[in-house]
Amino acid sequence: MARIAHKKHRHSATEIVRTLHNAGFVAYFAGGCVRDELLGLEPEDYDIATDARPEQVRGLFRRVDEVGASFGVMLVRHEGATVEVATFRREGHYSDRRRPDSVEYADAEADAKRRDFTINALFLDPLDTGAGGSGRVIDHVGGREDLARRVLRAVGDADARLNEDHLRALRAVRHASRLGFEIDSATADAITRHARELLGVSRERIGEEVRRMLTHPSRALAASRLQRLGLDAPTLGEPNALCETPTLAGLGDDAPYPTALGAWALDRAAAGRRVSAARIRETAPGILDRWRTALCLSNDERAALRDVLEGVAILEQDWPSSGVAAQKRAVATPWFAQSMALVRARDAALAASVSARVEELAKIAQGIAPAPFLTGDDLVAAGFTPGPGFRAWLDVAYDAQLEGRIHDKAGALELVRRVRAQS
């Protein structure tokens, strides 16, 4: 289905280019979609660059949204696909380090030279297929050679490109890591020189870049590069850490964001040594506070990160001495599978031992997480007055059920009556 959607999106983008071309305008695919097609990847979306002005684009298409008309950017909807159509431009000074103070419409070469990295500054004419392939590539900045060399390089002067928007440092790491490219030495040096200036970038934008890095299978390489280039300090709000990232590297490709954050936190706390469960519990509150602010974590993400770190401490310290009920309750929690992923990356033998115990637990009584024999309604129906003791009584009954010490509702009620009488 994804491949069909991609083909439909490309078809729509091509038809938009055709409409612009038939009206006498120059129009090309631009940026990341060109890069990905030349690398044999499926682009996430298609962007178009053209010499048509926004008002001219508006006049050619029935469904157009002016999302950035002052910057020459329009959204055109065609056969269910939405394509960004931007007018070729050159840009003025970036006083806010994010957006240009002024925009001047220009030609394709000037537009290419204002972009961030050479591999993102390529154009492709999908209508010109005379030489075979998917279209004719237009390269004003040496991007095609850098693709062949598998190198990410800033367009023109790297310091100037970073001064325009310091978030480009994080984008460089994300793109290079995802594609398996090296970062050009001059670009890497400029990133290191400008690393502290990330402090002036909004935390929302920084958090989104980190989220995109750590939810991709290249997460360990991205984190290592952030550390090596000195970007981790302004990104996370803590000192630079030149450490290995084995826990991150050991995660599965589809690891959720909080789990990946937990893995990185463990790697950074370990600093080349195995961090103990006690140390995890000691450092976790500070990490949660710093990273929630630095990365703009949602309440749910912060809670998941807290739980996954505490889960590792439980599995590595508390699990062996826990009883059947406590172990079953742990296995049934949302954090268990994610904490196990971290334990597996840190200590394969321990993970194997826990997994074997989980198989044993599944055979005891009614399994890992059976429906409880007794509920609050049952206690009320049996004449108990609702109050603070309810939760504790229900927990006692459920633990007994998990351990196979009671076998039905009647047994659960009898146990609760004995516990109440003794309290």
Find the Cα–Cα–Cα–Cα dihedral 124, 125, 130, 131, rounded to 10°: -10
Asked if the structure places residue 207 within a domain, the reply is yes
**Structure token pair of residue 173:** 């790491």
CA–CA dist 379, 393 (Å, integer)? 9
Model confidence at 4, pLDDT cuts 50, 70, 90, reads: low
Say if residue 102 is in the same domain as residue 133.
Answer: yes
Say if residue 187 is in the same domain as residue 102.
Answer: yes
Q: Which of 251, 181, 191, 274 is nearest to 227 (CA)?
A: 191
Say if residue 351 is in the same domain as residue 393.
Answer: no
What is the CA 84 to chain-centroid distance, rounded? 23
Q: Which of 30, 27, 26, 41 is nearest to 122 (CA)?
A: 30
**Structure token pair of residue 356:** 């074997």
393-407 residue pLDDT tens: 999 999 999 999 999
Q: Which region holds residue 82: left if phi is over 0, alpha if psi is between -120 and 50, else beta?
A: beta
Model confidence at 91, pLDDT cuts 50, 70, 90, reads: low
326-361 residue pLDDT tens: 999 999 999 999 999 999 999 999 999 999 999 999
Global pTM value:
0.89
The residue among 207, 237, 267 that closes a domain is 237
Say if residue 123 is in the same domain as residue 224.
Answer: yes
Say if residue 29 is in the same domain as residue 86.
Answer: yes
> For position 33, which CATH number holds?
3.30.460.10
- Residue 286 φ/ψ, nearest 5 degrees: -65, -40
Q: What is the CA radius of gyration of the chain?
A: 28
- Residue 124 φ/ψ, nearest 5 degrees: -140, 130
Asked if the structure places residue 404 within a domain, the reply is yes
Q: Which region holds residue 156: left if phi is over 0, alpha if psi is between -120 and 50, else beta?
A: left
Say if residue 77 is in the same domain as residue 137.
Answer: yes
Say if residue 155 is in the same domain as residue 11.
Answer: yes
Choose between 4 and 194: higher pLDDT: 194
Q: Which of 318, 304, 311 is nearest to 343 (CA)?
A: 311
Say if residue 336 is in the same domain as residue 410.
Answer: no
**Structure token pair of residue 304:** 């998941």
For residue 1, what pLDDT is reported?
45
pLDDT at 35 over 80: yes
Say if residue 23 is in the same domain as residue 60.
Answer: yes
Model confidence at 307, pLDDT cuts 50, 70, 90, reads: very high
59-81 residue pLDDT tens: 999 898 887 767 788 999 998 88
Range of the domain at 71: 2-237
Asked if the structure places residue 195 within a domain, the reply is yes
Asked if the structure places residue 268 within a domain, the reply is no
Question: Locate tokens 């030609």: which residue?
Answer: 107
Say if residue 101 is in the same domain as residue 183.
Answer: yes
pLDDT at 384 over 50: yes
State how many domains the chain has: 3
Say if residue 154 is in the same domain as residue 215.
Answer: yes
Asked if the structure places residue 209 within a domain, the reply is yes
**Structure token pair of residue 385:** 């007055």
Say if residue 205 is in the same domain as residue 324.
Answer: no
